[in-house]
Structure 1
Amino acid sequence: MIPRLLTLLPCLWFAAAVSAQPFSDGQRPSVRLPEDPAALIAVVGQQRILLADLLPKVEAKIAEVTKRAGQEIPEAQLEIAKVNLVRGLLAQSIQNKMMREAFLIDQMGTEAADKRAQADAKLTSRARMMFHESQLPDLMKQYETTDRNVLDEKLREKGTSLASQQREFVDMMLGHLYIRDKVDREPKVSISEINDYYQVNRDEFLNPTRARWEQMSVLFDRFATAEEARQAIEAMGREAYFGGNMQAVAREKSQEPFASKGGLHDWTTKGSLASSALDQQIFSIPLNEMSEIIKDTDGLHIVRVLEREEAGVTPLSKVQDEIREKIRAEKIQQSQVEVMEAMHKRIPVWSLFPDDTPGANPLPTSVSRLQ
């Protein structure tokens, strides 16, 4: 089954397009959208993208925003919004089709056009079958229907359709196959690479002095006098010392924020505490022994340090697996970048917004008329 991430990608790009605001209020975009929905707005290899392919999503999003705002969007802002939305959707659509084209070229090489068309049809048919087997049931579950006609109606309300969902899935499916074939998902990482990373990024493995401790506290603002506060903390100290369970006493009687957790403070670095008196004691007294009463501006405290680690560098032996995974992830990411760069050089693209796609050419009038 194709990873669910594939079905989420258009949503992520769509959200990015909505948030893009390259023009100031009242300023018209430098590139206007064609008035004819059937106008060609991009050519990717041998595939075409029409404005009508993207407009339903654009109009649905604008209708959603208008309804939420409870008022009509001014014409100038509406034009800017449409351009932004089309640009975001077009950039993703171009990339999907580029990957599909690259995959077909890899499969067919220099075969004749008719052979390539046959291969395209065969692969498309398989991808459509996968859509019906894996994606269609999920869509029906999402929209709570088992009727395809009802599903199609609900999708159209969102600016898409069952046919559109299928076309997008086919493009992404073939693109996924292209990336899968080109990118090594399990690149080898040598010991020398791990050691080099450790030496270069040594600061990443520095550990500050830190400690874990238990604490009981009384706060001055809870008592009429300082003496009453001292009597209370002394009583808590005796109960914990002779009863042997400091956390139980803290949970019942302590007045500090961690009382409900038995006064247990997890790993905390030296110098990070607001109370300098507590900080000094926690990082100096012997382990597993109750402290004397510690006074600061807020109140009186008794602590017992459970663990303390001095500052130092984590040994390579403890982090080599972590480093290996980081290097592997970097190699995969770099391989993906290289594959995409090579694809951009390999597949010719003409776009109404060439700046949004690396290596794309402006869409000439002569091409836009090839309807």
Structure 2
Amino acid sequence: MPLPTDPATVLAVVGQGRILLGELKPKVDSELTRMLAQAKTEVPEAELHYVKLRMTRSLLAQTIQTRMLREAFLLDQVGTQAADKRREAEATMAAKARQMFFETELPGLKKKAGVDSTAELDELLRKEGSSLALRQREFMDQMLGHLYIRGKVNKDPSISLAEIVLYYQEHRSDYEHKARARWEQLTVMFSNHPTREAAMKAVSEMGREALYGGSMQAVAKAKSEEPFASSGGLHDWTNQGSLASTILDQQIFSLPTGKMSEIIEDTDAFHIIRVLEREDAGVSPVGELQDKISKILRQQKVLEAQQSVMVEVRQRVPVWSYYPDDFPGAKPLTQVSARPAMQR
């Protein structure tokens, strides 16, 4: 695929506006320079061309969508009024956006860059493949697009109980859970002691200390020999059948909760455990999941509404692109490149 080099090349026409290669190229070049510096190896020219092409096309698609929303917002403001009315509305919006940019965005950019003056910030942005004017333009486009979406999409749609129950029934398997438990554990590894008798003596002493001292976790931190010792031998919720030790798994899911076990002999260690909590396998009831499901359904409705808005925008705002396959509904730019209006 070809990649133009002239910054004045029109890569897309969105409604009544254009996107030039010069708007995207500095960002692409800056990102590519950063990537090459990290790679620290020479990249073949063909591969370099491919990466630059992919980055340019991706950034172009993002910019087209932002500009489409901007165009749609302006269409809502002026409708089919004359061109001078559109220019007047656009100038008004630009003035408001410029004011908001300097009041809300610029201070944060200066702070992040560690500079005090606007000139210093502009210089740093240019080194990064941007500029103050470009950031201001992007801010305006994003602001108008955000206003358009906000006016079309209800960010807090209502969710009925019937919808929640239906979703729960359709996704019931997602809310099935195995038996699980949390427990405390003291461990003595055979490999850390000269004999099994010595290991038995060590675990017995830890058990007595925990029983009469009342804190297995304190003993575990000081003396236990398993990976969780530093956290007091505390094992958080674990599903039945997921442990490497079959013996421990059986004991954890059969012993009474809240009581210290006898010494459990495993293949490579002695253990003492205390099951803190245990839950049987089953399905979480819909009442416990109501808020979670409601949030999922709300997000789905918002996403569907946004997608519907984008379909509407694509119908209202025509797009011609140098890479039409990258954007739904875009026409090849050659269809309009020969028109007199496009040769100004």
TM-score range (shorter-chain normalised) is: over 0.9
Q: 2-side partners of 1:330 and 1:312: how far apart? A: 27
Q: Partner of 1:214: helix, strand, or coil?
A: strand
Deviation at 1:258, TM superposition (A): 1.5
Deviation at 1:104, TM superposition (A): 0.9
Structure 2 stretches of 5 or more lacking a match?
none
Which residue is 1:212 aligned to?
182
Deviation at 1:67, TM superposition (A): 4.2
Q: 1:243 aligns with which of 213, 234, 240?
A: 213
Deviation at 1:81, TM superposition (A): 3.1
Quick check: 340-349 or 49-58, which moved more?
49-58
Q: Partner of 2:343: helix, strand, or coil?
A: coil
Q: Partner of 1:215: helix, strand, or coil?
A: strand
Equivalences for 1:142-291 in 2 at 5 Å? 142-291=112-261
Which residue is 2:262 aligned to?
292
1:358 aligns with 2:331: no
Which residue is 1:55 aligned to?
25
Q: 2-side partners of 1:71 and 1:268: how far apart? A: 45
Q: Partner of 2:154: helix, strand, or coil?
A: coil
CA separation of 1:252/1:67 partners in 2, compared to 1, >3 Å: closer, same or farther?
closer
Which residue is 2:343 aligned to?
370
Quick check: 359-368 or 73-82, which moved more?
73-82
Which residue is 1:109 aligned to?
79
Q: Partner of 2:267: helix, strand, or coil?
A: coil
Q: 2-side partners of 1:73 and 1:252: how far apart? A: 54
CA separation of 1:275/1:178 partners in 2, compared to 1, >3 Å: closer, same or farther?
same
Deviation at 1:161, TM superposition (A): 0.6
Equivalences for 1:37-116 in 2 at 5 Å? 37-69=7-39, 73-116=43-86
Which residue is 1:334 aligned to?
304
TM-score by length of 1: 0.87
Deviation at 1:128, TM superposition (A): 1.1
1:322 aligns with 2:292: yes
CA separation of 1:35/1:311 partners in 2, compared to 1, >3 Å: closer, same or farther?
closer
1:130 aligns with 2:103: no
Q: 1:305 aligns with which of 264, 270, 275?
A: 275
Q: CA RMSD in A?
A: 1.7
Aligned length: 341
Q: Partner of 2:13: helix, strand, or coil?
A: strand
Q: 1-side partners of 2:181 and 2:37: how far apart? A: 54
Q: Partner of 2:313: helix, strand, or coil?
A: helix
CA separation of 1:276/1:332 partners in 2, compared to 1, >3 Å: closer, same or farther?
same
Q: 2-side partners of 1:222 and 1:35: how far apart? A: 68
CA separation of 1:315/1:62 partners in 2, compared to 1, >3 Å: closer, same or farther?
closer
CA separation of 1:282/1:63 partners in 2, compared to 1, >3 Å: closer, same or farther?
closer
CA separation of 1:212/1:161 partners in 2, compared to 1, >3 Å: closer, same or farther?
same
Deviation at 1:113, TM superposition (A): 1.8
Deviation at 1:137, TM superposition (A): 0.8
Q: 2-side partners of 1:288 and 1:78: how far apart? A: 63
1:348 aligns with 2:307: no
CA separation of 1:258/1:87 partners in 2, compared to 1, >3 Å: closer, same or farther?
same
1:118 aligns with 2:88: yes
Deviations 1:117-173 (A, max 9, x none): 211111111111111111111111111112111211111101111111111111111
Deviation at 1:283, TM superposition (A): 0.5
Deviation at 1:69, TM superposition (A): 4.5
Deviation at 1:73, TM superposition (A): 4.6
CA separation of 1:298/1:183 partners in 2, compared to 1, >3 Å: closer, same or farther?
same
Q: 2-side partners of 1:180 and 1:245: how far apart? A: 56
CA separation of 1:164/1:318 partners in 2, compared to 1, >3 Å: closer, same or farther?
same
TM-score by length of 2: 0.94
The one-letter code of the counterpart of 1:235 is E
Q: Partner of 2:338: helix, strand, or coil?
A: helix
Which residue is 1:23 aligned to?
none
